[in-house]
Amino acid sequence: MSGFRVAIDGPAGSGKSTISSTIAKTLGWTHIDTGAMYRAVTLQAIELGIDLNDEAAYRFLETCHIHYDHDRIYIDDRDVTEAIRSDKVTRNVSLVSSFPYVRKMLVGLQQAAAKTTGNIIMDGRDIGTVVLPDAELKIFLTANVEERAKRRYAERVQKGKQEPMAQMIEEIVNRDRKDSTREASPLRQAEDAIVIDTTSLTIKDVVKKIIAFIEQKENVHGD
C-alpha cells in the first residue's frame, strides 16, 4: 500500500500550494503542486506555438515528461518553476486545463506519483474528487474573494509588478467561474472533505490545523 495521502483542494488564492509545501517540509513528506503541472503544459504549448484552442494539438504530452520534484517543476530535464508564473501562462492556464485529454494525461501522472511515493500531500482543484478520491485525508481550503485578491496582489508586488486591486478581484472571480464550470473535473468540494476558511487565518494557523488532522487520522489508521 502507498503511504498516507492528503488531498488539498481549493480555489485560486486560497493558500493551498504554500500551505501544502510548508506541511510537507515540516513532516518530511513529498509535495506535488498539480496546478504547477498544468502551468507547465501551458508553457510548453505556448513555446511550441500550437493552437491553444485545439485539444488535438496537445499530443506533445505523449513525448514530453512533466514532473514535480522537491518543490520544483520540470519539463523533461528543464526547470521551469519561474517560467510558469509568467502573465501569459496565467492568462491561458484555465483554457489549457479545461481539456479532458490534458487532464487525463496529468491525472495519470499524479496518480502514479501517489502510488510510488511514500507519504504525500497533493494540492489542486480535483485531488479529493478525481485524482485521489480514496485519500486518507481530504481538505478543502477557501477564503473570500477580497482576501484571495489581496494575496495575489502581494505576490505581484513582491515580483515588482503594480496592478490595481480591482484587476486582481476580476481575475480571481473569472478563474473561479472557469474552474467551477469546466466540463472535465470541475472545482468542487469532496463530500468527505474538511473545509477550512483561511480568510482570517495565518499560514501557520492552517498548517497547525491540518497537521493535527493528519495525526488524528494516522492514529485511527494505526500508521
Residues 6+ apart with CB under 8 A from 63: none
**Taking all residues of the chain, what is their mean pLDDT, rounded to a whole number?**
93
The pLDDT assigned to 1 comes to 42
**pLDDT tens digits for range 70-80:** 889 999 999 99
Rounded CA-CA distance 111/130 in Å is: 10
Side-chain-facing half-sphere of 179: CA atoms under 13 Å: 20
The pLDDT assigned to 160 comes to 85
The pLDDT assigned to 159 comes to 81
Ranges of residues in the chain with a pLDDT under 70 are 1-2, 220-223
| Domains detected in the chain | 5-215 (3.40.50.300)
